């Protein structure tokens, strides 16, 4: 996989470059600010970008704003945000197109290298992968509840979907069969009145309804 890494912390950036290279990926660019990230993605057209939130020149939400710009101008470019912070406004913007291929993980919560590499693969493959804390904070912003018709178990399944879990992973965590999870997912799609489409696309729309 060809990857762009954007983080203003030199040690973390170089550590990520080495980790990704050892995992068999090619880091085509490693940059430390928002404008350089936008330029690197335009030049290299990577399979995935790993992006910090707070970078120069503003040291606030520069990386996330750059990620939003990339998605706006370059379509469904896979991006994994890796940060110490949850920036809610731009996180909403990043998820707004419903196209998937988006991840948002908190650095302090990444304690397993294999799980992190798996998240990279899933985002590059089109999935939405969110840290549970990101999900929780986005949930607090909801003004209306579009999922009031869901049962508690269906909301639990949808919450795990928002964290990027597959049906098999959900079944394992809830200690139920794959078939039971598939039934819950079908019920969720029906109750949220999501149109017949590819399941992955409907999963993204369901997650967006949950977060809003």
Give pLDDT tens digits for 69-123.
Answer: 898 888 789 999 998 888 776 777 777 766 789 999 998 888 889 999 999 999 9
- The model's pLDDT over 96-109, given as tens digits with 9 standing for 90+, comes to 766 789 999 998 88
Q: What ranges do the domains of the chain cover?
A: 2-139, 152-211
Cβ contact 73:97 at 8 Å? no
Which CATH code is given to the segment(s) 2-139? Answer: 3.40.50.2300
- pLDDT of 200: 59
How far apart, in whole angstroms, are the C-alpha atoms of residue 129 and residue 165? Answer: 8
For the chain, what is the mean pLDDT? 86
Is a pLDDT exceeding 60 seen at residue 190?
A: yes
- pLDDT of 89: 66
- pLDDT of 4: 97
- pLDDT of 15: 94
Q: Are strands 48-51 and 79-83 parallel, antiparallel or unpaired?
A: parallel
Fold agreement (2-139, 152-211): no
How far apart, in whole angstroms, are the C-alpha atoms of residue 176 and residue 75? Answer: 37
Give pTM, 2 decimals: 0.67
- Cα–Cα distance list, 32 to 9, 12, 83, 119 (Å): 7, 11, 14, 22
Q: Looking at residues 44-65, what average pLDDT do you find?
A: 88
Longest dimension (CA), the chain: 50
- The model's pLDDT over 133-145, given as tens digits with 9 standing for 90+, comes to 887 777 665 545 5
- pLDDT of 139: 66
Tell me which of 1.10.10.10, 3.90.79.10, 3.40.190.10, 1.20.58.340 is the CATH number of domain 152-211.
Answer: 1.10.10.10
DSSP string over 130-186: E-HHHHHHHHTT-SS-TTTTS-HHHHHHHHHHHTT--HHHHHHHHT--HHHHHHHHH
Q: Which residue has the tokens 């409907």?
A: 202
């Amino acid at each position: 996989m060809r990857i762009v890494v954007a983080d203003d912390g030199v040690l973390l950036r170089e550590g990520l470059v080495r980790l990704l290279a050892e995992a068999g990926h090619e880091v085509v660019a490693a940059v430390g600010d928002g404008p350089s990230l936008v330029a690197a993605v335009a030049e290299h057209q990577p399979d995935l970008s790993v992006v910090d939130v707070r970078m120069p020149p503003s040291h606030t939400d520069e990386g996330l704003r750059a990620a939003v710009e990339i998605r706006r101008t370059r379509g469904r470019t896979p991006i994994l945000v890796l940060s110490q912070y949850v920036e809610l406004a731009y996180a909403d913007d990043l998820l707004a197109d419903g196209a998937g291929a988006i991840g948002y993980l908190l650095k302090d919560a990444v304690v397993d290298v294999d799980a992190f590499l798996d998240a990279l693969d899933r985002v590059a493959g089109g999935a939405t992968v969110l840290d549970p804390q990101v999900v929780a904070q986005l949930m607090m912003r909801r003004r209306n509840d579009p999922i009031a018709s869901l049962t508690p178990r269906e909301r639990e399944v949808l919450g795990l979907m928002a964290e990027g879990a597959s049906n098999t992973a959900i079944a394992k965590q809830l200690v139920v069969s794959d078939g039971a999870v598939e039934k819950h997912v079908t019920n969720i799609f029906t109750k949220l009145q999501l149109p017949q489409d590819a399941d992955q696309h409907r999963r993204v729309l369901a997650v967006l309804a949950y977060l809003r």
